[in-house]
Amino acid sequence: MKEIHHLRRMTTVWVIASVIVDLLFWFLVGPHVPPGRMTNMASSDQFDFNILFVIAIPVLIGVWIYLGYTIVVWSAKRGGPEPVGGEAARTNRTAQVAWIAITSVVVLFLAGFGTVELMVNNGSGGGEGPNPVWSPAGAAKAETAALAGTGTWSPNSGQVLPVQVIGQQWKFTYRYPTFGGFETSQLILPDNTTIAFNVTSLDVTHSFWAYQLGVKADANPLINDVAYTATTQRGEFVVRCSELCGIWHGAMYNYGHVVSPQAFMTWAQQTEAANAANTKLLPAFAWTYVPDANGAAGGYYPDGTVTPYSRAEVYGAKQPVS
Amino acid sequence: MSIRGRFATVAVLFLVAVGLIVWSVAAFLTPGTPGGVVNFTDTQAAGQPVDLTVQTVGAIGSGAHPTWVSYLVKNPHTGSWIQDTTWELPAHRLIHMTVLQYDTGGPLRNQEWGQVQGTIGSTASLNGQPYSVYDSNAGNGVGHTFSVPGLNINVPLVGVSSSAQVCGAGPCATSSPHNTITFSFTTPGPGNYHWQCFVPCGLGYLFGNGGPMATQNYMGGFLDVVR
């Protein structure tokens, strides 16, 4: 009687099924996997997710094939002998070692892959804290100029645009230091531009999550959390707070827009002019503001100051080397 | 005890625990505040502007939290003041809003809320005088704001002088010192739009944003916009 090579059978089916499903996923589903391709970080996130799927799908299919094969081929037949004991029921050391080796390689590869993606994508859109380890070219220069009040930006100049995100219960507001430091409830960004988000809070911890931009950074009081992205597509995106921050946390969201560089310039200049009277009353642009507390004993500002929202310690984005 | 008895005991204890949790959460979210929705949809003929009048008081003076600051709304049908912050408004309609501000003020945590936004003409009127920005570090400061984040509406409500004989408990009569702030805005399509005060006026609570700032029917609510 010809010996049946069960493992060879399963492996053949597994390879064919994995290749087919992976290819179908990559070409049909992959381009639609969130967060889309609105920025370079979003595209990178989508690529990373697709890689994870392509690796996970063969694992899933392998487990399913093994289970299915076991049920169909190795299940006990009515009236047949009990399928226990004997050579076939002994531990298969080869299978054990192969399973541990393969899964270890997969996990270690993904750890390395994730680390590389984090590095080459300047933090992959995540908040890097006040002194980013990975920054895009020109970011430090733009951030330093913004803090000094000398920053400029013009369409198609290739300059990094710093935008400050201020969380407060329960709304995000945005300051544009290269346009006089005006503050607004609207988040408008130019297309084809690298954005340096500087995220902070005036009260509790919030989290700035613009998922179509591939950006997510905690908003902590007295901390400047820097995250980078570069816009590549125009359209609407949603900003949500992703840190439970109180009773109206669920209402803490707004919509932003990526528009053409020229349209952004027009909007920024018009808003700067329209808000000029209030901008003069705002504190000078800074990475963080004090005081951040309202004492438990009452009173708006426990330190007695009448300047409730003022420039705090100046630190944050990595300064230029020279 | 038998298996069946043990099972019954555990099941009863589980149900009691779940009931207590549900009751606690419900009690926390509605701590003795009146419920309901104030309906403004039938106060005017179709297409006509709707008048909405509210007042802000330094202390509500009654209920579970008599010392808490609160909004009150004038019932459009009876003219009485009620503590309810969910207002049903018709969609795509001009709303003329009047705020009688009886509370004192101070500097804003974020002067961004000192700017009038989202109203018709981006202005409001303070005792008959138009304004679009109010410096909260000057004068009597800002007592509260009426802000609808989803509609980008914000109006700073200028405080009354703390040296005046401030109304001690709501509802306040117009004989008490107050500021009258008026403005107009247009409602969008149907939906629920959260509104709130952006002055951290929940004194005694963390960052001033607990207590009345975090309780429905005090310093926040909803515009329930319907067809």
Measured between CB atoms, which of B108, B210, B214 is closest to A308?
Answer: B108
Backbone angles phi, psi at A262, to 5 degrees: -70, -40
Residue A116 lies in a domain: yes
Rounded Cα gap, residues A121 and A113, in angstroms: 12
Domain hosting A48: range is 6-73+92-120
With tokens 């969910």, the residue in question is B86
Q: Hey, what are B215's tokens?
A: 């309780």
Q: Do A96 and A134 reside in the same domain of the chain?
A: no
Residue A283: its pLDDT value, please? 84
In eight-state DSSP terms, residue A21 is: H
Q: Do A224 and A267 reside in the same domain of the chain?
A: yes
Residue A84 lies in a domain: no
Whether the CB-CB separation of B95 and B50 falls below 8 Å is answered with yes
Q: Do A29 and A108 reside in the same domain of the chain?
A: yes
CB contacts, 8 Å: A277 with chain B: 115, 132-133
Residue A298: its pLDDT value, please? 33
Chain A interface residues facing chain B, Cβ-Cβ under 8 Å? 166, 168-171, 173, 183-186, 202-204, 246-248, 251-252, 254, 274-275, 277-278, 281-283, 292-294, 296-301, 306-309
Low-confidence residues in chain B, pLDDT < 70: 28-36
- Provide the chain B residues 72-131 that lie in CB contact (below 8 A) with chain A: 106-112, 114-115, 117, 122
- Per-domain residue ranges of chain B: 1-30, 35-226
Whether the CB-CB separation of A127 and A216 falls below 8 Å is answered with yes
Q: Do A279 and A245 reside in the same domain of the chain?
A: yes
Residue A296 lies in a domain: yes
Residues 6 or more apart from B212 whose CB is under 8 A from it?
Answer: B65, B68, B69, B70, B201, B202, B218, B219
pLDDT in tens, chain A (322 residues): 567 788 899 999 999 999 999 999 999 999 999 999 999 999 999 999 999 999 999 999 999 999 999 888 887 777 776 666 666 667 778 888 988 999 999 999 999 999 999 999 999 999 998 888 898 999 988 988 888 889 899 998 999 999 999 999 999 999 999 999 999 999 999 999 999 999 999 888 999 999 999 999 999 988 889 999 999 999 999 999 999 998 899 999 999 999 999 999 999 999 999 999 999 988 888 888 765 444 333 334 434 443 444 444 444 444 433 3
Q: Do A149 and A52 reside in the same domain of the chain?
A: no
Residue A1: its pLDDT value, please? 58
Its pTM stands at 0.83
Query: Which of B121, B127, B148 is closest to B139 using CA atoms?
Result: B127
Residue A88: its pLDDT value, please? 64
Give the ipTM.
Answer: 0.81
Q: Hey, what are A179's tokens?
A: 């346009």
For domain B35-226, the CATH architecture is: Sandwich (2.60)
Kindly state whether B31 is in contact with chain A, defined as any CB-CB distance less than 8 angstroms.
no
Residues 6 or more apart from A127 whose CB is under 8 A from it?
Answer: A199, A208, A216, A217, A218, A225, A226, A227
Residue A320 lies in a domain: no
Residue A322 lies in a domain: no
